[in-house]
Amino acid sequence: MCLLLMALNTHSTYPLILLANRDEYYERPSASARFWEEAPSVLAGKDLRAGGTWLGITKNGRIAAVTNYRDPSSMQEGAPSRGSLVSDFLLGQQGPAEYIDKLDREAGKYNGFNLIIGDKGQLYWYSNHGHGVRLLGPGIYGLSNHLLDTPWPKVARGKDALTSLLSGQRAPSLEELFHILADRTVADDASLPHTGVELEWERILSPIFIKSPTYGTRSSMVLLIDADNRVTFVEKTFNADLDHPTTARHEFRIET
């Protein structure tokens, strides 16, 4: 995952609004979001090369998502897949604080990551490039390939757009939420971060929605949980033909 936007307890209709774009090479095989045959309570996409997933929710409300931390100089060959951090939490029974405490003791074996885990009422952020664990209070958050709320252009644009959309009393539409995720504005060079990749790649990676001949936004996701614990999860999946995505929609009520 390369961009997460979250609104926690900021809107009366939806205590949780989560928007996400997953960026990946077009050649990497993956499955779109569905309830897993081997674990019917888990709703998530799946990485068909390394296993694991990038974002998911369970029928009893466990939520997890991961983004990579971009630092080419610290990449480790043969490191375990960061997608397993999401699937392991979704499949497990540990609470988020306990899960992170255990992970913290072995986080160095993974390449850089940010992890969001918890449920509608309590979401935590943890990174093996950060300092400690953060319980997220009410507010609007943005997370890309650095630390939480690092003001990269795409993060700032996404947070501003979501803040503006939620400023009124009416519930946002799916079309409006996906419109935020479809923004292809390229940041000007003066605003680009310096993450260790070439300038041309910093430009390519700067929009909310990424497009290039070999790499780009593969899926856009909207996850909504309302005050009655009803979940709406909609995913648009893209291949190299960006004008014809496939859409999957799932709805259920969290089992308490």
The whole-chain average pLDDT of the chain stands at: 96
pLDDT score, position 169: 78
Interacting residues of 117 by C-beta distance below 8 A, sequence separation 6+? 62, 63, 64, 65, 86, 89, 96, 99, 100, 123, 124, 126
Give the H/E segment covering residue 232. Answer: strand 230-237
Tens-place pLDDT, residues 152-180 = 999 999 999 999 999 987 899 999 999 99
pLDDT-derived band at 244 (thresholds 50, 70, 90) equals confident
CA distance 110 to 23: 19
Estimate the crossing angle of helix 153-165 against helix 174-181, to 10 degrees: 160
User: Do 183 and 208 contact (CB within 8 A), yes or no?
Assistant: yes
Residue 231: beta bridge partners? 225, 252
- pTM attached to this predicted model: 0.96
Mean of the pLDDT values across residues 15-21? 98
Residue 17: beta bridge partners? 7, 224
pLDDT score, position 2: 92
Cα within 13 Å of Cα(214), Cβ side: 1
Helices and strands per DSSP (H, E), number in the chain: 5, 13
**Domain spanning 3-249: CATH superfamily:** Penicillin V Acylase; Chain A (3.60.60.10)
CA distance 11 to 19: 15
Structural domain boundaries of the chain? 3-249
